[in-house]
Amino acid sequence: MNNAAVAEVFENIGKLLEVKGDSSFKIRAYQRVAREIDHLPVDVTALAEEGRLRSIQGVGDEIEKKILELLETGKLAFYEQLLQEFPPGLIEIMSVPSVGPKMATRLWKELGVTDVTGMEAALRDGRVATLPRMGAKTAENVLHQLEAWRGRKSERLPLGDVRPVALALADALSKTPEVTHVTLAGSIRRWRETVKDIDIIGASDEPQKVTDAFVALPEVAEVISHGPQRASVRLRNGLQADLLLKPEASFASLLQHFTGSKEHNVLLRERAQRMGLSVSEYGITDTATGNLETFATEEAIYKRLGLQFIPPELREGGDEIQRAEKGLIPRLVEIADLKGDLHAHTEWSDGHTPIEVMVAAARARGYQYLAITDHSPGLGIARGLTPDRLLEQLRIIHEMNRTFTDGFRILTGSEVNIKADGALDFPDEVLAELDVVVASVHSAMGQDAVKMTDRIIRAMESPHMDIFGHPTTRLIGQRDPIQVDMEAVFAAAKSTRTALEVNASPSRLDLKDIHVRRAVELGVMLVISTDSHHPDQLAQMPYGVATARRGWAEPVHVLNTRPLPDLLAYLGRVD
């Protein structure tokens, strides 16, 4: 049973207990554990075997027993019994926005609704509208939400698709005279790999005028809610966008509140409460005196709570508050730390521009080096280079390097296929000529975990492989990761001194955040690379940096934060 499956069981237990009307705190306990297990960088089965389930946040006696039962028997009696008490479609009914446990229960008990189809019928024929304390407007709204919910292909979209839209929306809103400090918050500010909606905040003394302007923007297709301080809309592209406004004095608190995550805020506010303080989007209130204190910066808010500043990328409701309390939030890697990019393609294979155009773009970014890593021959679809073509490219690059007077260096390289048996797609004598060898899986992605893991480890054992490119090959929302034992990959990477790539392409982000964190814990070297096929894509580096930051990576963990001489020394290349 994998982590996602275990997490789903606990998530569903939480939902069913809500319908049952059980303690909201108990419900939260199950939901928290579900989320923690879903975000675990290691296999929950492995943790269980080591007897370390209790190291998961929120796992106590009861839930530990339940996880063990689930893993050992594939079933959980407590859950099975709960499922018997309710119609199986009830959980799905509650996934429709605006339908919570109370309404789901009433629809079931008072109208006999047991699934989404039945709910739709009851909405359409007027039965819902006639229930006490419901009405035509409620029924109409739920029906509308149901149709929108059906139309959506997935709950969350890749950050790379949403972020540009959100920036444009914030820019349009900032032209409203009554608002200042228009800022993106929520999961976009935390750089989560996927986002569900766009959260925008601003400061204003006349917020009603601003929400009025917001719902009137041309991108808005539908207004979901519209009050004096906040508004929610559905955009023409189907995304939901929320706007929240407060007076200038509360802006830092608003930013902190709306950046979330929700789980982070719950933990933060629980901590505050133990200190006799109450945290809200207005500021921090002393519970004893009722005095509201406001703050100029987020740093000041965390400081008031006795905590180190926690960067947005770490605010996921895990152990970041405990660590901040002990002063253990490190100085995370930043875009300015990067000295170069180690994965780029040109028109020699499947890139779109000549070498010199890519190089000029890299130099314009202030880099000291750029690795040209066109594909190896096995990737026919990407016009992979033959050995002869590669050697010709090397001669040209060596000539270009002689023209630089400022120490800039084009690194010769290749993105080499790892073949199905783990062999690399160029002969050793060719690979030996290169400054840097990125090796990646591009074929036979359906291998089982044993074969795939052996294949990758064999490749890493080659003396020439420097970097494992986009290690899980997943494409967010499009292609699942390969089946592979990541713990074994981390161990092999460490023993062979192979760096693992954090591919910054927004459709990849691979390694992903939780794998970065595990790699950092184990002392595995990382690189952050854009895998650019066009000079403009060099600008996607922030997505990779953010992913690394979400995995708690510091400059020392990232190979391409090193200046050229140090990098060459690490790669075993000496001038």
Partner DNA sequence: GCCGTTTTCGGCCCGACTGTTTTCAGTCG
Is 228 among the residues that bind DNA (CB under 7 A)? yes
Residue from 201, 203, 272, 355 binding DNA (CB under 7 A): 272
Q: 374: which residues sit within 8 A by CB, 6+ positions away?
A: 345, 346, 348, 349, 350, 351, 384, 385, 390, 393, 414, 415
Min. distance of Cβ 308 from DNA in angstroms? 14
Q: How many helices (H) and strands (E) does the chain have?
A: 24, 17
Residue closer to DNA, measured from CB, 28 or 363 = 28
| Range 277-296, binding DNA (CB under 7 A) | 278-282, 285
Is 63 among the residues that bind DNA (CB under 7 A)? yes
Is 101 among the residues that bind DNA (CB under 7 A)? yes
- Which two three-digit tokens encode residue 14? 């939480």
Residue from 12, 58, 181, 389 binding DNA (CB under 7 A): 58
Residue from 98, 117, 130, 291 binding DNA (CB under 7 A): 98
Min. distance of Cβ 136 from DNA in angstroms? 6
Q: What is the DSSP letter of 204?
A: -
Contact status, residue 520 vs residue 333, Cβ threshold 8 Å:
no
Residue closer to DNA, measured from CB, 223 or 400 = 223
Min. distance of Cβ 182 from DNA in angstroms? 17
Is 480 among the residues that bind DNA (CB under 7 A)? no
Contact status, residue 413 vs residue 424, Cβ threshold 8 Å:
no
**Tokens 């202030």 appear where?**
366
Alpha carbon distance 262, 260 (integer Å): 5
Min. distance of Cβ 105 from DNA in angstroms? 8
CA distances to 168, 253, 304 from 209, in Å: 20, 21, 33
- Which two three-digit tokens encode residue 321? 């508050």
Contact status, residue 561 vs residue 528, Cβ threshold 8 Å:
no
Min. distance of Cβ 24 from DNA in angstroms? 8
Q: How far is CA 6 from the centre of its chain?
A: 20
Contact status, residue 551 vs residue 514, Cβ threshold 8 Å:
yes
Give all strands (DSSP E) within 451-567, no chain letters.
467-468, 499-503, 526-529
Residue from 64, 92, 178, 219 binding DNA (CB under 7 A): 64
- For residue 245, the SS3 value is strand
Residue from 91, 99, 239, 548 binding DNA (CB under 7 A): 99
- Which two three-digit tokens encode residue 376? 């190896």
Min. distance of Cβ 542 from DNA in angstroms? 23
Which range binds DNA by CB under 7 A, 54-62, 360-368, 444-452, 567-575? 54-62
Is 100 among the residues that bind DNA (CB under 7 A)? yes
Mask: binding to DNA, 13-52, rule CB under 7 A, as x and -?
----------x-xx-xxx----------------------
Which range binds DNA by CB under 7 A, 151-159, 262-270, 406-414, 438-446? 262-270
Is 61 among the residues that bind DNA (CB under 7 A)? yes
Which range binds DNA by CB under 7 A, 59-67, 336-344, 356-364, 551-559? 59-67
Burial, 528: exposed, middle or buried (Cβ in 10 Å; 0-12, 13-18, 19+)?
Answer: buried
| Range 119-178, binding DNA (CB under 7 A) | 129, 132-139, 141
Q: Are strands 230-235 and 240-246 parallel, antiparallel or unpaired?
A: antiparallel
At CA 16, angle to CA 15 and CA 20, rounded to 5? Answer: 120
Residue closer to DNA, measured from CB, 253 or 440 = 253
Residue closer to DNA, measured from CB, 103 or 499 = 103
Min. distance of Cβ 328 from DNA in angstroms? 13
Contact status, residue 271 vs residue 304, Cβ threshold 8 Å:
no
- For residue 457, the SS3 value is helix
Alpha carbon distance 506, 298 (integer Å): 28
Is 113 among the residues that bind DNA (CB under 7 A)? no
Min. distance of Cβ 133 from DNA in angstroms? 5
- Which two three-digit tokens encode residue 457? 């480890």
Is 412 among the residues that bind DNA (CB under 7 A)? no
Min. distance of Cβ 134 from DNA in angstroms? 5
Is 89 among the residues that bind DNA (CB under 7 A)? no
Contact status, residue 257 vs residue 280, Cβ threshold 8 Å:
yes
- Residue count at the site for DNA (CB under 7 A)? 62
Min. distance of Cβ 255 from DNA in angstroms? 13
Is 416 among the residues that bind DNA (CB under 7 A)? no
| Range 183-202, binding DNA (CB under 7 A) | 186, 197, 199
- For residue 90, the SS3 value is helix
Q: Three-state SS string across 418-436, please?
A: ECCCCCECCCHHHHCCCCE
The residues that touch DNA, with contacts defined as CB under 7 A, are 23, 25-26, 28-30, 57-64, 97-104, 129, 132-139, 141, 186, 197, 199, 211, 225-230, 232, 240, 242, 258, 262, 265-266, 269-270, 272-276, 278-282, 285
